[in-house]
Amino acid sequence: MPEFKKISIVIPIYNEEKTLAKIIAAVENADVFGLEKEIILVNDCSKDKSKEILEKYAGKHKILHHKINKGKGAALKTGFAGATGDIVLIQDADLEYDPNEYINLLKPILDGKADVVFGSRFSGSGAHRVLYFWHSLGNKFLTGLSNMLTNLNLTDMETCYKAFTKEIMDQIHPKLESKRFGFEPEVTARIAKLAKKDECRIYEIGISYSGRTYKEGKKIGLKDGFEAVWCIIKFNLLKK
């Protein structure tokens, strides 16, 4: 069984001046069962003060910049390429997901049971902010469509919280094509293909969710939902 010593936490950032310092502090303080923590901050060409805020962390954390805004998927791909941890975890730069729950995400991997863990907003008993009905229905529809083609029984494909062992991440990140929010269905399709060959064990754990409104800075929209449908079809049926 591989030994886990270090975790890389990759944070994609686009115009997150309101929450950036807070989320970095929360990630720095989060319990990760004593693993060494590598924090990778990827500035996806923010137009607000995010860049200035990041300057304060120079020398402390890994900071990467995009010259143009490319999207969450592209920012993650940049971050993954620089990650050196035995486990790689994704953290959005808003405060929708709580780093205090890393221990729950990490446990199945550290116990040697899982290679990938998804944090589900739709299972478990953690607190959930009550927000957009049509948005949650859209999420469930996308998870259902993805499940039909991957034959996985996930409850939240679109979740930000996904943790991977380095072995799995090294196999998938060089292939990633989706620049924007198509990342989630693409990565799910790619790990499902490994799972079909018995090369990847996927677990899910309930997480809490403090969703934000569009006024509070949420960026994903209807257009991204349509893109997700296309990505589910493309990466499950049309691509290797």
Stretch that binds ligand UDP, among 9-17, 53-61, 81-89, 143-151 (CB under 6 A): 9-17
Stretch that binds ligand UDP, among 51-59, 108-116, 187-195, 218-226 (CB under 6 A): 218-226
- Residue 16 β-bridge partners: none
Cβ neighbours, 10 Å, residue 153: 9
Residues that bind Mg ion (CB under 5 A): 92, 94, 96
Which residues are within 8 A (CB) of 192 and not within 5 positions of it... i.e. 6 or more apart? 150, 151, 152, 202, 236
Q: Which is nearer to ligand UDP, 27 or 189 (CB)?
A: 27
Q: Binding partner of residue 69 among Mg ion, ligand UDP, none, CB under 5 to 8 Å per kind?
A: ligand UDP
Question: What is d(CA 115, CA 170) in angstroms, rounded to the nearest whole number?
Answer: 12
Q: Is 136 in the site for ligand UDP (CB under 6 A)?
A: no
Nearest distance from residue 20's CB to Mg ion, in Å? 13
Nearest to 172 by CA among 103, 93, 90: 90
Q: Is 207 in the site for ligand UDP (CB under 6 A)?
A: no
Q: Is 80 in the site for ligand UDP (CB under 6 A)?
A: no
Nearest to 240 by CA among 199, 189, 188, 202: 189
Nearest distance from residue 13's CB to ligand UDP, in Å? 5
For residue 125, give both structure tokens.
Answer: 């008993």
Q: Is 115 in the site for ligand UDP (CB under 6 A)?
A: no
Q: Is 14 in the site for ligand UDP (CB under 6 A)?
A: yes
Q: Is 187 in the site for ligand UDP (CB under 6 A)?
A: no
**Exposure of 176 in the CB half-sphere (CA atoms within 13 A):** 30
Backbone angles phi, psi at 163, to 5 degrees: -120, 140
Stretch that binds ligand UDP, among 54-62, 69-77, 100-108, 165-173 (CB under 6 A): 69-77
For residue 112, give both structure tokens.
Answer: 């040697």
Interface positions with ligand UDP (CB under 6 A) = 12-14, 16, 44, 69, 71-72, 75, 92-94, 96, 218-220
